[in-house]
Amino acid sequence: MSIIGCVPNISEGRRADVIRRLSSETSAVRGVRLLDVTSDREQNRSVFTFIGNTASLGRAVYRLMKIAIETIDITRHSGKHPRMGIVDVIPFVPLRNVSMELCVRLARRVGKEIGESFGVPVYLYGQAATAPHRVSVNDVREGEFEGFARKIKLPKWKPDFGPERVHATAGVVAVGARPPLIAVNINLDTPDLPLARKICDGILRSCGGEYLKALVVGRGTGGSAKIAVSVLDFKRLPIHRVVEAARRLARRQGAAIEGVELVGLVTAESLFGSLEHYLQLVDFNPMQVLEFHLSRRR
């Protein structure tokens, strides 16, 4: 059975009623299974994770986009995470028996439908990008919603689909295809944001920017500074290497890591890599995990 993941990032992390409605409308689509919703009030952002096939995911994204336009106004949005639209990014992820090429085709089909049905400018990114300068969603998002009225007029930033003007309340959206990524928030034991930015810059320098995105997104509920990290390829850059770099850099600044929060879902393979590293396991086999046997059908 083939399975594709979809991980939309919505610019709403505070209004529980809106998040519940988006969740229920998405999970009501036949053939779609909603796995997780992670919301952050400080960033004012929610990450939805659901799975399905090409047809069901297309229907789910359409419904998600429709409800988001009805309930969210980007001109009234404020939060620590950069954003350019109410549905900021929509990545499709190959999970089981699915090629990246199929996810690219799905991203382009869904992007075209969003542009035509909702009048929202669409930019293809990741492995669905139509130009090298659009591969990184950070480059696409640069300038955020407030800067897009000018940016969209530049020839190099003509949308892939939809009108060549920013939607008044929905902004713009990036639709793409990518491998699974690992997203975490690293919480420091200090409220010092300038110090957190030094640590964040050090993480990018020491781990390299090719497979990593990191930015300081303000303070968490306890007041500690928070660094949002996305590992784009955990096989080339294990998550424990990033955490250890953060720990080392924080220590040099007289600070420490208070905790690491997972954002959305994480692959077992990435966690096993960290398990092997910290326990120095030799010839580890995932089937040595008891629960894997308990969940198997006889």
Known catalytic residues are 81
Q: Which two tokens stand for residue 282?
A: 């030799």
- In this structure, the number of other CB atoms found within 10 A of the CB of residue 271 comes to 15
119: Cβ–Cβ under 8 A, 6 or more apart, which residues?
162, 163, 167
Q: Which residue has the tokens 């409800």?
A: 67
Which one-letter amino acid corresponds to residue 190?
T
Q: In angstroms, rounded to a whole number, what is the distance separating the alpha carbons of residues 114 and 58? A: 10
CA distances from 275 to 164, 206, 244, 289 (A): 48, 22, 14, 12
Q: In angstroms, rounded to a whole number, what is the distance separating the alpha carbons of residues 253 and 198? A: 9
Spatial contact of 114 and 162, defined as CB atoms under 8 Å apart? yes
